Amino acid sequence: MKHLNENALMQEMNVGEMQNVNGGWVALTLAVAGAAIYVYNNWDDFCEGVNDGWDRTRN
């Protein structure tokens, strides 16, 4: 039986390697900025949805 510790796929990644694989902070920044722009452009729909959701939890 092979040892899992020697397998490259089973080794842990450090923080720098995770940021490299996941795209670093650029992807997170773009996602947050995109969400903020979407909410700003659709503020009326956003408020209506929040109010509808709140009302449904209260009844």
pLDDT along the chain (59 residues), means of 10: 59 75 78 94 94 90
This prediction has a pTM of: 0.49
Two tokens, residue 28? 């997170």
Backbone φ/ψ region at 14: left (φ over 0), alpha (ψ -120 to 50), beta: beta
Domain residue ranges of the chain, discontinuous segments joined by +: 23-58
Torsion angle in degrees (nearest 10) through CA of 9, 10, 15, 21: 20
Which pLDDT score, from 0 to 100, does residue 37 have? 96
User: H helices of the chain, where?
Assistant: 15-22, 24-41, 43-58
